[in-house]
Structure 1
């Protein structure tokens, strides 16, 4: 028997490990900022985002394959509020004895904007090799949508040893925007 709280928490992870509600249209992005970007070019920003997303998903997939155990491994990769959302989802996984099978992956990263301590990109999130199962091994059907969805990924830019580093600060799927 599926509990509504379980399905709500699992929908959150399936939408990108704790992201906010799906958007039907891309959010409005500020068009100018007096703050300079931390990156010398859009290409440099995209390369940093690709690396940060790959590392984040590798660890996130491991955490949720283990039923939400070890979520603290995401702390060095996550902005504070985002980490709190992911910790809540991980606690729900543990409470409801569910776990992830397969991996969420991301590709096709594109630059949207970089200003001050913020970088925003889009990425295709691939859900096709990912599912959530209960303790009995039954797959839980959570979302009805495309296998690949364009998502906005927001990063907090922090400088370590004069080099910018990225912390995941949010992910929002654009529901009507398959990749």
Structure 2
């Protein structure tokens, strides 16, 4: 058999083998409701900011409820926060309960601003900044002693991280972090 024919036959066999392999390989599973550029979770930064603001306000309202009840009812935070954040909330509630504190007054939030949004670990991370007002909040223990806050600024910024995913065609947002920035008053 001439060398040219052998080379052609070898290429034909390799091509057929590759085609057969391609046909027998299982298809890769499609991603589970992962956000993408072709299906944005928000129509604009303004929409993302409004959604973040609504979640942040709902979170702080729930936090007010829990701490006004002396740390009871913390489960109302579960649909609003990630598992990681919930673990942190439980630690804070335990400390509050151990000191037998009860909150008087409410935290309030305003001025939420968009910072950035990026995709990682099957979720979109929406970063926003908001102003938390501490001025109307005090905490007292069972003896009537007031807890003293380390930072006396009445209002300062928090950088908030929200995880956004899609589930059954619905956008699901959960607060993952609310990092206080006491040096940045608002």
Instruction: Give the TM-score band, short-chain normalised.
Output: 0.7 to 0.9
Shift of 1:144: 2.8
Asked if 1:173 corresponds to 2:180, the answer is yes
Structure 1: 5+ residue runs without aligned partners? Answer: 1-34
Higher Cα Rg, which structure: 2
Asked if 1:45 corresponds to 2:48, the answer is yes
- Give TM-score, length-normalised by structure 2: 0.73
Mapped partners of 1:64, 1:158: distance in 2: 29
- Give TM-score, length-normalised by structure 1: 0.76
Asked if 1:106 corresponds to 2:113, the answer is no
Aligned residues: 145
CA RMSD of aligned residues (A): 1.4
Mapped partners of 1:102, 1:164: distance in 2: 32
Mapped partners of 1:150, 1:132: distance in 2: 21
Give the ranges of 4+ consecutive aligned residues of structure 1 lying more than 3 Å apart after TM superposition: none
Structure 2: 5+ residue runs without aligned partners? Answer: 1-35
Structure with the greater relative contact order (CA < 8 A, sep ≥ 6): 1 or 2? 1
Mapped partners of 1:96, 1:140: distance in 2: 9
Matches within 5 A, 1:130-141: 130-141=137-148
Once the two structures are superposed, residues 64-113 of structure 1 have per-residue CA deviations (whole angstroms, 9 ceiling, x without a partner) of 11111111110010011111000111112222211211111110000001
